[in-house]
Amino acid sequence: MKNSMKPLKVLPALILLLVLTSCSSVRVATDYDREANFDNYKTFAFFKPGIDKAEINDLDKRRILRAIEAELMANGYTKSENPDMLVSIFTKSNQRVDIYNNAWGNGAWGWGGYGGWGWRSGWNNNQVTTTTEGVLYIDLIDAQKKELIWQGSGTGNLETRNVEKKEVRVKEFVSQMLMQFPPEKK
C-alpha cells in the first residue's frame, strides 16, 4: 500500500512544474491575406505613424524594432527606402490572476475538533499568482496598396525587472511570430 501512495505524493509537484513551464512560453497566432503573393515581398521599412501609436516606452520600442529587423534580415529580407512592405507594431498588456486550489495529500479518519469525527484532508492549499501578460502584434502591410497582408500576435508573461531577460524575451516573442512568415503555400 505504501508504494501506491508515492505517485500521489509526486503528482502535485509535477502539476506545479507543468504550470510554471507553460507560463514561460509565448502563444502565437497569425492571420494573413490569402490573395497576397508573398513571393513579391523582398524589402521592408518601418511604418513610423503606426509605431508611434504603440503605447510602450521608447526603449522597448527600439528593442522590438531591432529584433524584427534582425529576424527579417536573417530570413533574406532587405531594409529599403522604397519597400515592398511596411512593418508596424502595437501592444497590449493585461493582468492575469491564476488561482490554484490544491486539495491533494493523505487524508484520514479522525477527530476534527468542532467538526467531530470524519475524513480530514492532509493538505489543502490555495495559491494566487498575479502576472503581467503582454501581447505584441506585428503588422506587415503592402506598401503600394496600404493593405494589411499579415499579422502575428504573441502573448506571454513579461519580464520587466531585468534588462537582459527583457531583451531575451522580446527576441523570443519576435522570432516565434516571424517563424510563421511568410505563410506556407498551399
CATH number at residue 34: 3.30.160.670
Q: Say if CB 33 and CB 68 are below 8 A apart.
A: no
Whether 53 is covered by a domain: the verdict is: yes
Whether 165 is covered by a domain: the verdict is: yes
What is the bridge-based pairing of β-strands 78-79 and 43-46?
Answer: parallel
Task: Give per-residue burial for 136-149: e unless 16+ CB within 10 Å, then b.
Answer: bbbbbbbbeeeebb
Whether 45 is covered by a domain: the verdict is: yes
Q: Where are the alpha helices (DSSP H) in the chain?
A: 2-23, 48-52, 58-74, 163-178
- Separation between Cα atoms, residue 167 and residue 171, nearest integer Å: 6
Whole domain around residue 100: which residue ranges?
Answer: 27-105+116-178
Give pLDDT, residue 86: 98
Residue-wise pLDDT for 110-120, tens only, equals 555 555 555 55
Give pLDDT, residue 93: 78
Whether 19 is covered by a domain: the verdict is: no
Residue partners of 40: CB distance under 8 A and separation at least 6? 84
Axis-axis angle for helices 163-178, 58-74 (nearest 10): 40
Whether 20 is covered by a domain: the verdict is: no
Q: Say if CB 30 and CB 152 are below 8 A apart.
A: yes
Whether 22 is covered by a domain: the verdict is: no
Residue partners of 17: CB distance under 8 A and separation at least 6? none
Number of domains in the chain: 1
Whether 6 is covered by a domain: the verdict is: no
Return the H-helix or E-strand segment holding 45: strand 43-46
Comparing 28 with 96, the larger pLDDT belongs to: 28
Residue-wise pLDDT for 20-75, tens only, equals 344 458 999 999 999 999 999 999 999 999 999 998 889 999 999 999 999 999 99
Say whether pLDDT at 104 is over 70: no
- For the question of whether the overall pTM of this predicted structure is more than 0.95, the answer is no
Say whether pLDDT at 16 is over 70: no
Whether 1 is covered by a domain: the verdict is: no
Q: Say if CB 149 and CB 140 are below 8 A apart.
A: yes
